[in-house]
Amino acid sequence: MPADLRDHLRSCHACDAFRAEMLALDATIHRAMRAAPLGASSGATVRRIRPAPAWRQWALAASILLATALVLGAWVLRPSDTLARDLVTHVKAEPDSWLSERHVDAAGLAQALGRAGVTLNLASDKVVYAQSCFFHGHYVPHLVLQTSQGPATVLLLRHEAVTARRVFHEGGMNGVIVPAQGGGGIAVLERTGGDVDPLARQMQQAVGWLPGEH
């Protein structure tokens, strides 16, 4: 198993659970196929089958794990696909974030941004929700902005490798992940079917990363 995949499984409950599910499924498949299928033309007794030699059973287990690792690896190492899913999961875990109507003051916004080392050249009267959330091993600003189309969630992902714009539709939300200037990415999500690109472009111009470890 690749080291980065192994590391990911340690920190990602969803992927680790998927791996466990697949191993359990494999055990069930193995049990099911231990005997011959009873076909329509068959009246014969199912015979006891001699198991494969031990080394082949190990090879089988290794192949199963390799298959699972390949699939998980393909997902893990394609950051945008799992990133979108994780973003939606995170936002869904904070349902009240969409309901806030009170503007966040400058101090509140600075607190949400500061922990992640982010600057935002944006009028704070547009921000109705601002939290510093732990996401993918780092603190990221989680903002909700009021737009002409309703509330839109913005997550500023300094530590995500985003090299191209990616649109997603997941869990009842529309979203886009765009590269940020200086690396990282910006995710914008909304729930009413509106266009998220204008806000994403605005955020690309407004967001900056402070130097240093965050």
Partner 1 sequence: MADGYNAPQRKTMRNSPPESPVLSISGRLPGANPGDPITRLFESMRPDLLRFAQWLSRDRAIAEDIVQEALLRAWRSREALKDHSAARPWLLTIVRREHARLYERKRLELVPLEDIVETHAGPALAEPDGELFALRHAIMKLPIEYREPLVLQVVGGFTTEEIARELELSSTAVLTRLFRARNKLRVICGMSTARDVADAGNPA
- Interactions with partner 1, residue window 26-55 (CB under 8 A): 26, 28-33, 35-50, 52-53
Asked if 71 is part of the footprint of partner 1 (rule: CB under 8 A), the reply reads yes
Pick 72 or 120: Cβ nearer partner 1: 72
Asked if 25 is part of the footprint of partner 1 (rule: CB under 8 A), the reply reads yes
Q: Which range of residues in 65-73, 108-116, 146-154, 202-210 is near partner 1 by CB under 8 A?
A: 65-73
Asked if 18 is part of the footprint of partner 1 (rule: CB under 8 A), the reply reads yes
Neighbour-count burial of 68, counting CB atoms closer than 10 A to its CB (0-12 exposed, 13-18 middle, 19+ buried): buried
Backbone angles phi, psi at 82, to 5 degrees: -75, -30
Pick 3 or 40: Cβ nearer partner 1: 40
Pick 15 or 187: Cβ nearer partner 1: 15
| Total residues at interface with partner 1 (CB under 8 A) | 46
- Interactions with partner 1, residue window 95-154 (CB under 8 A): none
Pick 59 or 99: Cβ nearer partner 1: 59
Q: Which range of residues in 71-79, 126-134, 137-145, 205-213 is near partner 1 by CB under 8 A?
A: 71-79
User: Which stretches of the chain bind partner 1, using CB under 8 A?
Assistant: 18, 21-22, 24-26, 28-33, 35-50, 52-53, 56-57, 59-60, 62-64, 66-68, 70-71, 74-75, 78, 81
